[in-house]
Amino acid sequence: MKKIALIFIGTIILASGVVAQQLTGYSNFLLNDYYFNPAIAGSKNVHEVNLAYRNQWIGFEGSPTLLMANFQGSVKNEGKMGYGVTVVSEQKGLTSNNAAYLNYAHHFKLGDNWKLGLGIQPGYMQHRVRLYDAQLADAGDEVLTGTVYSANAIDLSSGFHLYSKKFFLLGSVHRLLANSLQFTTYNSNLEFHFGGIVGYGFEIKTKSKKIFELQPSAMVRYTQPVPLQYTAMLKGTFDNKFWVGLLYRSDDAIGISAGLTLRDRFTIGYGYDYTTSKLNSYQSGSHEVMLSFIITKDKPTLEEEDENLNNSILEDMQKKVEEEKKNKN
C-alpha cells in the first residue's frame, strides 16, 4: 500500500505542476484588466483598490476558486509613472497557489489623443499540495499524515498598453523567468503565458442627453500545452453608471455580467458563466463578484474647468430659450 501511496503522491505533484502553469483568469476581463496586464497601472489617472472573487464549476468537488486584491495608481494622478501591488490566492482541489506582485509602468504621449504604457511586474509565488487531505483506499494507511508538498518561484510579467479615449490594445507575457532560475523549487514547472486584449467604445447620445456606450472587445490567451483560447465580450454602459455584458469563451462557456457605479467611485459587478463543454453535466456554472473603489481622482485643469463652465452656461441658455418657446405657445 505504501508503494501505491508514493505513486499517488508523485502523480498529484506532477499533475498539479502542469495545471498550475495555466494562469487562471476572470470572465469579466475589463474590470480586471490590471490582473492581466501590468501596463494598466497609472493609465486611469486615479488611485483605486480592486477586489475580485471567482468560484468556478459550482458543485464540482475541488472546483477552482480565485481571490485577487490589488491597488494601483500614478504619481500625483498624472498618468505618467504608474505603480501598484497585487495579491492572488488560488485553490484547485488539493493544490493552492499564493502570490504577491509589485508593479511599475510608464506612460508616453504619442500625440494629442494617443498614449503608450509599458509595464513590468515582478513577484513571488508559492505552490502547495495538501497531501494529508488525499483520500486513499486503505483508511488505516498513515503515509500521508501531516505531509505537505511546498515549492516556490520567482515570477515576472511585462506588457504594453496602447490606448486613446475609445480604443485600447494590450499585449502581455507572464511567467517570463519560467525555468531559467535554478535556485527556486518551482520555476521549472512554469511556462510562458501570452495574452492580448483589444476593444473599442462607440458612444450614442440619447434624447435625454444621456450617453450610451457600446463596447465590443476580445481577449486571446495562449500557453503550452493548452490550446489557444479567445473570449469575446459585448458590453453596454448607460450614463456611465449601469452596464451589462455578454461573453463567449471558445469551446468552454457563455456568460452574462452586470454592474453599477455609485457616485463615480464605487463599482460593483457580478458575472455568471454557463459551461458548454462536457463538464456541464457535473456542475452548475461559475460565479464571480468584483468590487472597485476609487480613492483619489485627478483634479481638472484650468482649461477643463473653463470648458465645463462654458458648457453649463450654454445649457442654461438653451433651457431658457426652450422655456420661452413653450410660454409663447
Give the H/E segment covering residue 302: helix 302-328
Contact 273, 256 (CB under 8 A): no
- pLDDT given at position 314: 66
Answer yes or no: pTM beyond 0.85. Answer: no
pLDDT of 63: 81
Residues 6+ apart with CB under 8 A from 241: 260, 261, 262
- C-alpha 161/C-alpha 117 separation (Å) is 5
DSSP strand pairing (95-109 vs 115-130): antiparallel
Q: What CATH number is given for 2-298 in this structure?
A: 2.40.160.40
Cβ-Cβ contacts under 8 Å for 142 (sequence gap 6 or more): none
Confidence (pLDDT) at 13 = 39
Distances (CA, A) of 263 to 27, 96, 122, 270: 25, 37, 34, 19
Mean pLDDT per block of 10 residues along the chain (329 residues) reads 41 40 72 88 90 86 88 90 95 89 95 94 90 58 63 93 95 89 85 93 80 93 88 92 93 91 91 84 85 79 56 68 69
Q: What is the pLDDT of residue 6?
A: 39
Using an 8 Å Cβ cutoff, are 41 and 287 in contact?
Answer: no
Place of cell 490582473: 35
Residue 122 phi, psi dihedral angles, 5° rounding: -85, 155
Distance of CA 83 to CAs 70, 155, 161, 184, 318, Å? 11, 17, 14, 26, 44
Give 41's contacts (C-beta < 8 A, 6+ positions apart).
34, 72, 73, 74, 82, 83, 84, 103, 104, 105, 117, 119
In the chain, domain spans: 2-298
Are the C-beta atoms of residues 108 and 119 closer than 8 Å to each other? no
Q: Count Cβ neighbours within 10 Å for each residue of 274-290 and write b for 16 or more, e otherwise.
A: ebeeeeeeebebbbbeb
CA distances from 20 to 90, 91, 120 (A): 9, 10, 22
Q: Which three cell numbers stand for residue 293?
A: 473603489
Here the cell at position 10 is 508523485
In residues, how long is the chain? 329
CA distance to 207, 208, 316, 319, 323, per residue, from 326 (Å): 18, 18, 15, 11, 5
